[in-house]
Structure 1
Amino acid sequence: MSIIPPEAISRASADRRIRVFFSQICFGLAIFELILSMASLVRALTGATHFSPQGTIAPLFFAGVLLFLRSRRTKAGTEISLLAVFFLFGLMLVDGVLDYTSRPHRNLSYSREQRAKELGIPYDNRGIPKVVTMLRDDGVNAYPHIAPSFLVGRDHEPLYPMGGISGKTIVFCNESGKFSVYPSDRHGFNNPPESWDHGAVGSLVIGDSFANGACVQPGEDIASRLRAQGISSVTLGMWGNGPLIELGSLVEYAPTLRPKTVFWLFYENDLDRLVNEAEDPLLRRYLDPAFSQHLIDRQDAIDAYLIDTVRSMYREKGIDLSRPAAEAPVHYQLAGIDFDWKQMGLNLDHCIQIASLQQLRTFVENILVYKHSGATTGLFKQVLARAKSVVGAWGGAIYLVYLPEYYRFAPISPLARLEYRRLHDAATMAARDNGIEVIDILDIFNSQPDPIGLFPLRMYGHYTAETYDLIAKVLVNRLER
């Protein structure tokens, strides 16, 4: 009878413990992936997000692989499990890094406050909920800014507003130290109340938050600077607008104003927004010349809908807009800023994205082909063609004004530089193919000795008041040619 050496018994026991350990890791990771897969599906079914096949199927696939490896209890199976776990962790780590570096909005409020301190600039570090509640406590009928883009993917029957809440004090944003707060006009836009009284106007500014005047004081936005130079101007800009919403605002409101010139502001995330907007059947109907919601005559219904929506959104955060500021929830008073776990980017959506390797897949796809080729750029051409037709009905002219973002002028990778060039070419070509002249603000920024200085606190964000004024002067010069 042979005697098994103690060393062999010890090794066998150690091997068994290792197999059990990695079996537990595989099982735990599999459960995590299954939870994320189910969460992705549930969020899509409840309308919280759009359905993502990759966000549901990829974690499910990884869970299946991990459970299969867990069933392989042999030494070879353990080694394969070990390699698979490290490989999956490695992929998720790379995806997490790409996700982190691709999202510039992470806790920017705190970073701006620190930069302002370094520069000796006073900085209001309150969050929007606190500003709103304090204004309401002082008797001001204030509301947080709510825009059409907030409604993409939501149930917006029986109407889809293209403007905001009318006749109220709107708390907008803060990127330079002081909050942008403005009185909304009769249709919820950032214009003087008399802007709609005189019929035809010299120019109309269409776009997103840059057309809306983020995040500067009243009178410092592009439309205001055009008015200061003698050109009657109205803006229909709202935060987060993409091309289909911008077309909708043009269809609904421009015929009343009959502007001689329409400045269509194109920012460098507009095609990303178009992808989301294209999934909304109502927004796509604006490509039909016969379609209109007749919103200009429905402001009472729009106000009721938006006020109910914004109250509901804030109620989900534990904030009652009718509550005095002194009773605001404690977690919104910490350090005077809006602070929750989402500020750190640790929300469910990002866990699902990382588990499905979304950024890594996008990175590889972008190397092979431009992400907005084909259907998206084709749809953008259709949007511009429809916009030109609308403006041409009264003999007006339309320009596409190309606006660059901050990261063009910061140190970036060769791939990012390639993406910017592809985006610029796609957007400007879509305009020129429709016979629309392009006013390229990128050229203006590139001609400046310090382009980063065109942004508040020299950080990612919108433009300074001086930059908006510079753009307005460029537009006026083009009209005077």
Structure 2
Amino acid sequence: MTGQTHTRRVAAILCLIPAAYFLATAGYGLLNFADYASDTPRLIRYVVGPLGIVAILAIVAVFVEETNALVVGITATALLAALFVFESYMTYRVLPRQMGLVGAVDDGVSLERFRNAMPPAYTIKALNKERGVETLDRAVLASVPGEEVFLCSRGGAPVSYRADRFGFRNPVPAAAPPIDVLVLGDSFMEGICLDDGAHTVDQLRGSGLSVVNTASRGAGPLFELAVLGRYGPYFRPDVTLMVFFAGNDWENLLHETAFPWLAQAFEPDADFGPVEWTEDQLAETAEIVDTWWQGTAASTSELFQRRAVLRNFFALQQTASVLGLHYPKKTPQNPEYERTLRRAAEIVDGWDGRLVVAYVPPVARYGGMFDHKFVHEPLHRMVLEAAGAAGVPVVDLTGVFDAQPDPRALYAADSHFNPAGARLAAEIILDYLETSGMVPQ
């Protein structure tokens, strides 16, 4: 009898270990209900499924014959341990590649020539926050002019570009106005971790069009609207290409509307500020940038501060991605995107230009044992509907990317475009602009 009691106790403990993990998973989903449990796919994935496993293990621990319960407990605990072993392996593989985004370099590599510009992973919005900006005309909307910008590291060595007179990634000198295409976007269009000539905007430029790139890391739709308001009237492009990255632009917009100085871009008489940097902007930026470089910039510590590495590890994120079970947060409705597009269209109307949205799908849409494109479709649909309501045409990269034999082969390990992805994106965009008659063939 004592032996049976001991076996039952051990079986209960072994069943309790994985049950506790899945109970915590369901609890996290419920505590973050709007993000992870407010629609059927996420409710099943993050709450119902884990609670089902908890219920099965609890029944086994209490009601199943002790020897069989012990076998189930051992098996369940071993499977959970195996998942964490696999997660450790995947994290070990992925982390070194992600370290490139924060600019971690090999010992002995000097970063002195980059210290007058922002470190990798720091954004212009963060710079303005540090400066205490309250009005749009005082805001900085580009990198430091004329400085070498440290984009990332690749193989332990820096990848960089020299900013133009405005602070953007363009050949020097930049194209003279009026131009064919002005590109608004985030790190995808800035060309993170891609050399000059390999990123999407340079691929467009290679077609013979006069193109100006104003993209910068961390930019969202409202920030891009501010950039358009400041630089659009100067360059007077035939086409303004507003690139929407589905991985984070919707969330970026939610955060950007909380900045009073960015919200001023919606005002009909907004003062967007001068295209040239002022002495005050240069001096304030230099002081803040120097402080950043003296901190954890371009280090492993920066990676762990900026990415929830431990949380993602315990959530088995890499394993879930391999299985196709890592679902993004649910996308809430946001009427500000349509409002942003309408305001952008008003601005480009000032010089009889055209506004076009380019939709870029995230790598998270692809891969995994189980197809999960359906969880990305609500955002895809909302963007297309907002653009349609605003009367703005969309060049949608999703269809062509979906049709590739392996869409993941278009993305680098850091989830941005690799050269092949950048080239295909440029081909799709250029074909759309030419066939629609917006630019000369």
TM category (shorter chain) comes to 0.5 to 0.7
SS, match of residue 398 in structure 1: strand
* Structure 1 residue 290: Cα displacement: 0.8
* Structure 1 residue 143: Cα displacement: 5.2
Identify the residue that residue 430 of structure 2 maps to in structure 1: 476
* Structure 1 residue 193: Cα displacement: 2.0
AA matched with 1:476: L
Contact 2:147 2:162 in 1 (8 A): yes
Work out whether 1:275 is the aligned partner of 2:251. Answer: no
AA matched with 2:174: S
RMSD of the alignment, in Å?
3.7
Identify the residue that residue 144 of structure 1 maps to in structure 2: 119
Distance in 2 (CA, whole Å) between partners of 1:422 and 1:233 is 32
Distance in 1 (CA, whole Å) between partners of 2:208 and 2:147 is 27
TM-score, with structure 2 as normaliser = 0.66
Aligned length: 334
Contact 1:131 1:171 in 2 (8 A): no
Contact 1:127 1:338 in 2 (8 A): no
* Residue among 188, 193, 218 paired with 1:210: 188
Distance in 1 (CA, whole Å) between partners of 2:339 and 2:171 is 32
Identify the residue that residue 310 of structure 1 maps to in structure 2: 289
Distance in 1 (CA, whole Å) between partners of 2:352 and 2:282 is 32
CA change 1:142–1:282 in 2 (3 A) is closer
Query: Can you give the 5+ residue segments of structure 1 that lack an aligned partner in the other structure?
Result: 1-51, 55-96, 114-123, 320-327, 355-365
What does the per-residue CA deviation read over 1:431-459, in whole Å, with 9 as the maximum and x for residues that have no partner?
11111111110111112111111112xx3
Contact 2:331 2:378 in 1 (8 A): no
**What aligned pairs does 1:235-384 form with structure 2 within 5 A after superposition?**
235-268=213-246, 269-317=248-296, 332=299, 342=305, 345=308, 371-373=331-333, 376=334, 378-384=335-341
Identify the residue that residue 353 of structure 2 maps to in structure 1: 396
* Structure 1 residue 469: Cα displacement: 1.7
Distance in 2 (CA, whole Å) between partners of 1:186 and 1:142 is 13
Identify the residue that residue 453 of structure 1 maps to in structure 2: 409
CA change 1:291–1:344 in 2 (3 A) is closer
Distance in 1 (CA, whole Å) between partners of 2:258 and 2:91 is 25
SS, match of residue 263 in structure 1: strand
AA matched with 1:468: A
SS, match of residue 428 in structure 2: helix
SS, match of residue 139 in structure 2: coil
* Structure 1 residue 299: Cα displacement: 4.2
Work out whether 1:432 is the aligned partner of 2:392. Answer: no
What does the per-residue CA deviation read over 1:365-403, in whole Å, with 9 as the maximum and x for residues that have no partner?
x99x95321xx2x11100000001111111111111000
What does the per-residue CA deviation read over 1:141-195, in whole Å, with 9 as the maximum and x for residues that have no partner?
6652553232475453262211111101111114677542000011111111211
What does the per-residue CA deviation read over 1:110-130, in whole Å, with 9 as the maximum and x for residues that have no partner?
1568xxxxxxxxxx8994577
Q: Which has the larger radius of gyration?
A: 1
Identify the residue that residue 44 of structure 2 maps to in structure 1: none
Distance in 1 (CA, whole Å) between partners of 2:429 and 2:309 is 42
SS, match of residue 229 in structure 1: coil
CA change 1:148–1:135 in 2 (3 A) is closer
AA matched with 1:157: V
* Residue among 96, 110, 113 paired with 1:110: 96
What does the per-residue CA deviation read over 1:193-232, in whole Å, with 9 as the maximum and x for residues that have no partner?
2115x22111011011111111200122222111111101
Q: Percent identity?
A: 24
What does the per-residue CA deviation read over 1:413-436, in whole Å, with 9 as the maximum and x for residues that have no partner?
77x644311000001111111111
